Structure 1
Amino acid sequence: MIVDSHCHASDKWYEPVETLLDAMDRNAVDAAVLVQMLGDFEHEYMLKAARRYPGRFVVVGGVRIERDDACENIRRAADAGLAGVRLRPGGRSPGTDPLALWRCLEELRLPISCVGKAADFTSPDFTALVKALPGVPIVLEHLGGLARPDVGDRSKMAEAVLELAQYPNLHLKLPGLGQLAPRMAELDPRIAMPLQMDGVTAFIDHIITAFSERRIMWGSDFPPVASREGYANALEWTRLSLGHHPASTLRSIFGETARRVFFRD
C-alpha cells in the first residue's frame, strides 16, 4: 500500500480533491493525508471528501490556536472525523498554559503535522515542547524544514535536525526529490532522473539511519509539486533513489508509517 502523507485539496485554492484522486489513481497511490493549507480553518470540504471516498483520505485540519475555545473546537472536529491537526512549532495557547491545545491533542491521541523552518524545529523552545508531550506523534513537514528553500546551510541545519531523532514521538515527512535537488540544465531523455543529485541520496540515507524507516513517511506536496518534478516523478524518483534499501524499508516510508500515524482503522 502506498500512502501520500502530504496533500492539499480545497474548493477555495489549489485544486479540488478529484484532481488529486486522478493523480493518485494514475500512480497507484492507495490513500492520502489531506493537510489543510495555512490560513484556512474550515474542515468541512475535506471531511466531506473523506466520507465520499472512504478509505482514500484522512484529514489533518487547521485550528486558531490563539482562541480560548480552540480545544473545544478540535474536540468537535475530532468527533466529526478529523484525524490530526496542523500547527506551527511556535503556536501557543492563551491563558496560563501555553501548551493547552498541544496537551489536548495528546489526550485525544490526535497526531500533529508541524510546519516550520528547520531553525524553528531545532530551537530550545521546540525541544522543550517535545519533551513535555511524549505521548503525541509530531510529524515535521518538509523533512524537518531541510527541504524548504529558506533552510540556509542545509548541511549545518541537518546536524541539528538529526539530534531530534532521540525523541521517539517525532517523525519526518520525506518530500519528492525536486525539493532537495535542482533540475539539470538540460533535460536529456536518456537520463531517467534529470536532477543534480550530488550527495542527496547519501543525505537521505543518513536521515533514515537516524530516525529509522518507522518514523519517515513520503509526502508529495500536491499540488505545489506540479511546479517542480510533478506528482508521478515525486513518487517514482524518490523510490528509485532509495532502491538500494530493503523492501521492508520502502514499505514503511511509502505507506506503513503514514498509515500507522494518521489512519485509525
Structure 2
Amino acid sequence: MRAIDTHCHASPYWFEPIEVMIHQMELNSVEKSLLVQFFGVYDNDYLIQQAETYPQKFRVAGLVDHTKNHAKEDIENLSSRGVQAIRFTADTKSPGADPYHIWKCAESVGMTATVMGAAEHYADEYFETVIQTCPNLQFVIEHLGGVGAFFGPGRPSSDIPYEVYKKTLSLAKYENVAIKMTGLGEFCERPRPLPQPMPFLEIPPVIEMALEAFGTSRVMWGSDYPPVSAREGYRNSLSFPYDYLNLTSEEKDKIFYTNAIKYWGFK
C-alpha cells in the first residue's frame, strides 16, 4: 500500500510540531503530506519552512484573513513562495461589493481551494455559486462534506444528514470539484465496549456515496492528524478505510496515493 496524506496540521504552538508528524509518517509508510493551516493562524511561515526543508515530502495549504484589504496581496505572496493551496470555509465572503473577490484571487494565481465547512454550508446555494463564478479554480471539499459528528466543529448529532449530504455530492457535476475522505472515526461513534480488531460495527455508507458521485479519480484520503489521535488514531485512520473499502488495488491506489500527486503537485 502506498499513501499520501492530504490533510494534516503542524505547529510548534498548537497540536504537534513537524517532527511528530514525520515520525507518524515513517511509522505508517506515508510518503508525503499536505500541511493544512488551521483556522485562526495567518502566519504560514512555519509550514512553508517545512516544505522548503523537505521539498519531496510536504506541500502547503495556507490561510489568509479574507476580511483584510491586503488579502489579495497575501495570496499572491504565498503563491510566489510556492504555496499550492489556500484554505477557505464554504461560506467565505469578501467584504464589500464582491463577496467572491477572495475566491477569484486564488483562481487568478492558479491555487487550489481546500474548503472546510458544515454540511449545510457545502449544500447551500452560495457555495455552488462560488464554484460557478470560479470555473478555473480547483475546489477540494474537506472532511467528506462535514457529515461527521466527531471532528473539529462536528455536529450536534451522530445521525448522518443524508439529504444535505446528497446536495453536496451533487457538486460532483462540476469537474473542478473533488472531495477528501477521512478516517472512519469522524462519522462513526466509538463503541463501548470496543470490539477488536475493527471497532466500528455499523459504518454509514458516506464514503461509498462520495465514490459513486465523484468516482475514484476525484476522492482522496486525508488523516486530519493530529486531531485524529483523539479518535481512532493515525494508523487506524489509514488502515481501517483501506481495508474496509470494496475496491480493487488500483482504485485504492488512486484514492490513497496518485490523486494526491495530481491535485497537490507532489513530486
Give the TM-score, by structure 2 length.
Answer: 0.93
Q: What letter corresponds to residue 79 of structure 1 in structure 2?
A: S
1:1-265 to 2 correspondence within 5 Å? Answer: 1-148=2-149, 149-150=154-155, 153-188=160-195, 191-198=196-203, 200=204, 202-242=205-245, 244-263=246-265, 265=267
Cα distance in structure 1, aligned partners of 2:91 and 2:79: 23
Deviation at 1:263, TM superposition (A): 1.6
Q: What letter corresponds to residue 142 of structure 1 in structure 2?
A: H
Root mean square deviation, CA, Å: 1.5
Please give the per-residue CA displacement for 1:213-255, whole angstroms capped at 9, x wherever unaligned. Answer: 111111100000000000000000010111x201221111101
- State the identity as a percent: 32
Please give the per-residue CA displacement for 1:36-66, whole angstroms capped at 9, x wherever unaligned. Answer: 0100000110111111122111110110101
Please give the per-residue CA displacement for 1:53-84, whole angstroms capped at 9, x wherever unaligned. Answer: 22111110110101111111111111112110
- Per mean C-alpha deviation after superposition, the further-off stretch among 16-25 and 175-184 is 175-184
Q: What letter corresponds to residue 95 of structure 1 in structure 2?
A: G
Cα distance in structure 2, aligned partners of 1:86 and 1:7: 13
Aligned residue for 1:93, secondary structure, equals coil
Cα distance in structure 2, aligned partners of 1:161 and 1:168: 14
Cα distance in structure 1, aligned partners of 2:178 and 2:235: 24
Q: What letter corresponds to residue 207 of structure 1 in structure 2?
A: A
Cα distance in structure 1, aligned partners of 2:148 and 2:258: 22
Deviation at 1:151, TM superposition (A): 7.0
Decide whether the 8 Å contact of 1:106 with 1:136 is kept in 2: yes
Q: Structure 2 stretches of 5 or more lacking a match?
A: none
Aligned residue for 1:58, secondary structure, equals strand
Deviation at 1:264, TM superposition (A): 5.7
Give the TM-score, by structure 1 length.
Answer: 0.93
Q: Structure 1 stretches of 5 or more lacking a match?
A: none
Decide whether the 8 Å contact of 2:123 with 2:165 is kept in 1: no
